[in-house]
Each structure stands twice: as C-alpha cells, then as structure tokens.
Amino acid sequence: MALNDLASVYASEKKFAEARTAYERVLKINEQKYGRESPMLITLLNDVIKVTCVTGECYDTIPELRRLLFIRRKAGGTHLREVPVTLLLLGEAYEKHGDFSQALTYFTEAVATEKKLSGEQSAMAAALSKNVERAKKEQVQKEQAKKEQAKKEQAKREQAKREQAKKQSAKKEPAKKESATQQQADKQHKEL
C-alpha cells in the first residue's frame, strides 16, 4: 500500500506529524475494508501510537490505545499476550498527563492480566508492579502538592482580608479623629 509506505518513510525521516496523518488515513481506509474492530487494524493502530508518543504526546493516543485494547481482547488468542502491554501504555499516557488515578487503574489491571496469563510469579508481572508503586507515590505527591497549594491560597486570602481590614480601619481613624475633634470643639463652644 503506497500510503502506508509513505507513512513509514515519514517516520524514518522523523517527520512524525506527517507520519501520523498518513497512518491515520491508511487506518481509515482499512476500517472501511475490514471493520472498526478488526485485528487487521492492530499494526496500524500501533503505528499511529508510536509516531505520536515519540513526540511526547502519548496522552493524545488514548482513544487509539483503548480501541487497540478492545480489539486485542475481542480477538483473543495470541493477541491476548499483548493486553498487559497495552494496559501499561494506557497507564503511562495518563501518568504523563498527571492523571495518576487513571494511571493506577490501568497499571493495576496490567499486573492482574499478566498474572492471569503467566502466573503469580511472572517476572513481567513483577516489573509491571513497579509502575503501580510509582503511580501510587506520584498520586500521594500530587495530593500533597494540592493541599500545600490550598494552604498557600488560603493564607493569601487571609492576608488580603487583613490588609483590607487595615485599609478600612485607616479610613475610619481620620473620621474618628475629626469626629472627636468636632465633639471637643462643640463641648468647648457650649462651655463658653
């Protein structure tokens, strides 16, 4: 297929935006030919994901990764072997976007799936578990950072209130002094 070859050339020349556009066009053609859930789309979905992630935009591939996951699960057989990796990639996409809760969900599912496929003592499951631990730490750090930021913002609001109160008080002081001076003058005037 000429367009697929062109996409490959773009990718090899590190013209990743052009490669993605070309791969997406080939993907659309193949969707019409084989259907949106065909295992024949796996390679093209992988290609779209690769050329997008290499530019640091993995979060943008979440729709393709979800579709890839669905197709692999539905196809079964040897395609199931790649399900944990797809789950891992989904987790990483969310992690890079700072959504550690979603990342943790996919990482945990990747570990569970790998254990079902390879057994509890799988080296791959152990490696995937490291992602779970990292995402948990990142999630805790993000929550702590949010709390710190909230404290700082509250302190700023309180400081602003204090400053506003000082300004109000400063405005009232001259009026009080004038009023007191006026009262003294009135008092002295009455005494005379």
**Residues 6+ positions from 158 with CB-CB distance below 8 Å:** none
For residue 128, what pLDDT is reported? 86
Q: Where are the domains of the chain?
A: 2-139
**Residues 6+ positions from 87 with CB-CB distance below 8 Å:** 69, 106, 107, 109, 110, 113
> Has domain 2-139 been given CATH number 1.25.40.10?
yes
For residue 15, what pLDDT is reported? 94
C-alpha triplet 146, 149, 151: angle, nearest 5°? 110
Distance CA 140, CA 149 (A): 14
For residue 127, what pLDDT is reported? 87
Q: Is 67 helix (H, G, I), strand (E, B) or coil?
A: helix
- pLDDT, one tens digit for every residue, the chain (192 residues): 588 899 999 999 999 999 999 999 999 999 999 999 999 999 999 999 999 999 888 889 999 999 999 999 999 888 888 999 999 999 999 998 889 999 999 999 999 999 998 888 888 888 888 888 888 888 888 888 889 998 889 988 888 888 888 877 777 666 566 666 666 667 766 666
Tokens of 7: 């996409």
